[in-house]
Amino acid sequence: MNRLCDEVLQLIFYELPDPTALTLTSKRFHTFSQDPYVRAHYFLTRYGHIQAMYFAFGRGKLLTERVLDILLASGARLSRYLIQIAIHHYFHTQAHFIKTPWVRNVSFRVFIYILTLAEKLYGEIPRGKQEDDGYIFSSFLKESRYPPQMKFVAWEDVRDILEKYHFIPFCNKDPIMAQFPLALAIEPRLLPYAKANGFYMDSKYRDLVIRKMFERLTPSNETRAEDIAHNVRELCRLDPTIFVSRTVAAEICMEAKVNDTGYAALKQLDQSGDLRFELSTLVEDLLKTFVHTRSITNPLTVEILHHLYADFPSTNPTVRLVILITVFISSENLHVTPANTHSKLETLHLTPMTRRDVFSILVSPFVERYQVLLEYARREVVMKEGKGMGPKEIRELVQEVVCRCLEIACKGKLLKKLYDGFPSIQENVMRYVLENHQLSLEDLPAWDVPEEADTCTRFEAKLCRDFLRFLLPPEHHPWEDFHLDGGEEDIVSEALPDSGLSTSAVEASILGDMDTGTDDRAPLEPRPREGGYDSELGSITQESLTTMIRHDEVTPPRSRRRIYYSLGSNSDSSGKLHYPHDALHVGRWAKSQFGQKSSIMAIFMTHAILNDNSHMLHQYLVSSESGQADSISRHIPVTFKHFQLLAKLGRAPPVYLFREIELGAEFFVDEDDYIAKTDAARRMLRSKIKTESPSSSSCSMGPPCSEASSSYSAVMKEDFESPSSSRGKKRPRRSAAAVRSYAVPDSDDEAIMEVDELLPMDRKCQGQSPETSLQLWLKNLGDLCKQEQRKHKEVKRRAEMAEPGAKIRQAKTDFLKVVPVHLRNLRKLEEEKRIKLYGVEYPVEEYTDEDDEEYLHRSNGRTKRRKITTRTA
């Protein structure tokens, strides 16, 4: 350090918040720090030309006459406003924001020199109360909303303090710093003087200024739209970095009916080419955002949307659908007749309506009633045969809507009304669920297959999604992919194969993943009027201009500088939700409609578990209907198949499943074990299979996608029920309460017989007791964990072979992290139950708490016997 040149040492000083400690380390550093040039440029380098004087006044011991001269000669700003505040603070009168000693640390001799320099620059300085330049500037801002006859501070007064006395907020802590840009919105002619004093327009302040220029005026204010447009043009001409962003323009459009002056000024700027985007494109993009937000049901918002659509008609199918939804929601709320509804549609140029339009409106998450829409469809919807839909077409349409609403979790209310209002569709809907939504192991990707690992992470079942989950992206909607270029072919109905359903060609293509939470399409980009795309044009929100201005005013001035206005505010956060108010979950409706032990509810239960929908699992496994006491008999059964599906995906089972096992849930391999033969959906599907293929009566009665699970269920049942055999000799099945049925490698029948000899004589004489449900859960979940552990080791081995010599750390799946922990708790519970049932004298197998493949504790010897300990009283 002592051999460093002065230039390098000077740079080190500039990087230190307080170089005092460094100056005390050596005589050279102390001498170097006494140089006035080093001291002056330390403040200039660290704090800039505007704030250098303010921070120099706060380090009074470093300030000398020579340092002040160098600061002023190097360009540091010394405004009359700063001198006025320094005088007030030095002589212990109250300063408006400074709470530290600040300038009082300056020696009296140096402070007199400061006043002398100020007197040479500005002459006589006002020192009285409410005479400083900051008060004049604040008064100018407060009077901006007053009528002209009530104003006492003219813009020329502010111009003088900017031009003659170099007025500028002298530090970031000054409240005027956040309010200073507002003066430019009131009077754009002040911008050149502000820039001459060192002011720089930040993008955060730019939107604030433009908002104030378009602010809704009071009735007494006579400002015209031409004046607002002229001020905006003048401000943009004086500073090319200032422009009207898409964010602010969308806010102006959101109050087009109440702020007609600002809205008219915005349209004038668009017509004269002073905007960096097309206003019609902005309105189109703004209307699109309402397709998946609850605010579309607000009557005030509906009026604004209709006003914007009337001014800027659009052929975009999403915009058309938004306006159609608002029309029919309003008609349902006001009980408008179909004739009046048709008149409204003609006014907005939305006629004629097609079958596709009706379908798209009904599957909107925010449409919960259908009477007016279907009545209008019977009269006015254009079909191939003519105008109006017949009873058959209505029934087919409702059937398709119901099948689609099953996948939109928040559509329970409309689904219930349609299902009850059209009983003839119920059989086809149940068939649709059984044939299209039943899942088996073969339908899921595997986490241990490299090509399917990413698919496992993104996999989502179509039913029982959790629409209440916080910060989910908006659901993908089918109407966003429509293109109005089909013609009559769009309304031709075609039969769905093997389902008995019918739908149009376009609708059949959108019956896929509607609300998967993803959207692979390119984001909307604003079109620049000339040149390329400007990334600073800002995003679109649904906030109004007045709301954002009030948000700016309520925010504390010091925090206002750190706000990015493009993110919007939380003034109406409920309006941004993508589900309706008081929505009924489809899964909850299904439970009340089909009962807990039905094939339909088994499918909903599987989808809820795979989607980790804790809200619906609570409804299925915890809460009870009709205020009855909670009982596990009224819960939807948990099956071993649920754990197998989760294990294949590598996901952790929800805690609700283990809670059910602890409460005594009966062990079922899959849903075929508990669904009765009299189940309505299964009986209906069985009759359909017999009708189609009478010779195949011995085939499985379930849908094709459940054949694998049914055959696996039969194999598991045979394993549980048939007695084990050894060397051609049948042997009674041992009780799981005495010895667990884990298979030990290299074990033989002699070892098993020796274990049997250790059983108490009274237990042998009494016969074998059957395995309890808890023991079956432990046995099968333990085997499943072993299988997953072997897969984990195989994946790690493949990774090591791909990178020889590298140390591979293969993370375990969530399933392997969670299930062993719960298994230990279940084993303790099972042990307590056995002690309570059989007493303390019974063989016990000891388990290790390690996460290795073997959960059984073995001895270190070469014997093949299991290690058995006998507890005595």
CA–CA gap between residue 543 and residue 538 (Å, rounded): 14
- Identify the three-state secondary structure at position 396: helix
| 822 neighbors 816 (Cβ within 8 angstroms) | no
Q: Which helix (H) or strand (E) holds 697?
A: none
Alpha-helical runs (H) found in 338-438: 338-347, 355-362, 371-380, 391-405, 412-421, 426-436
CA–CA gap between residue 763 and residue 284 (Å, rounded): 80
pLDDT of 769 reads: 56
Q: Kindly give the pairing relationship between strand 843-844 and strand 493-495.
A: unpaired
Non-local CB neighbours of 378 within 8 Å, separated by 6+ positions = 388, 389, 390, 394
b/e code 312-323 from CB counts within 10 Å (16+ = b): bbbebbbbbbbb
Mean pLDDT in residue range 2-6: 73
**Candidate from 151-165, 201-215, 528-542 with smallest mean pLDDT:** 528-542
Q: Is the pLDDT of residue 482 over 80?
A: no
Q: Which helix (H) or strand (E) holds 508?
A: helix 505-509
- Identify the three-state secondary structure at position 186: helix
Q: Which helix (H) or strand (E) holds 257?
A: none
| 410 neighbors 580 (Cβ within 8 angstroms) | yes
Mean pLDDT in residue range 326-335: 90
- Hey, CA dihedral for 97, 102, 107, 111, is it positive or negative? negative
pLDDT of 856 reads: 43
Q: What is the pLDDT of residues 711-764, one digit of tens each?
A: 333 333 443 333 333 333 333 443 333 333 434 344 444 443 433 433 444 444
- Hey, CA dihedral for 54, 59, 65, 67, is it positive or negative? negative
Q: What is the pLDDT of residues 609-656, one digit of tens each?
A: 999 888 888 888 886 554 444 567 788 889 999 999 999 999 999 999
CA–CA gap between residue 712 and residue 720 (Å, rounded): 12
Q: What is the pLDDT of residues 18-53, one digit of tens each?
A: 888 888 888 888 888 889 999 999 999 999 999 999
Q: Give the model's confidence band at 306: pLDDT under 50 very low, under 70 low, under 90 confident, else very high.
A: very high
Q: Report the DSSP beta bridge partners of residue 870.
A: 843
- Identify the three-state secondary structure at position 77: coil
pTM for this predicted structure? 0.71
| Percentage above 90 pLDDT, the chain | 30
**Candidate from 66-80, 140-154, 358-372, 762-776 with smallest mean pLDDT:** 762-776
| 53 neighbors 82 (Cβ within 8 angstroms) | yes
- Identify the three-state secondary structure at position 504: strand
- Identify the three-state secondary structure at position 318: helix
Q: What is the pLDDT of residues 515-552, one digit of tens each?
A: 333 333 333 333 344 333 355 788 888 888 888 888 87
Backbone φ and ψ for 856, nearest 5 degrees, come out as: -90, 140
CA–CA gap between residue 2 and residue 4 (Å, rounded): 6
Pair of tokens at residue 736: 């799981």
Mean pLDDT in residue range 460-469: 86
pLDDT of 1 reads: 62
CA–CA gap between residue 143 and residue 218 (Å, rounded): 13
b/e code 393-429 from CB counts within 10 Å (16+ = b): bbbbbbbbbbbbbbbbbbbbbbbbebbeebeebbbbb
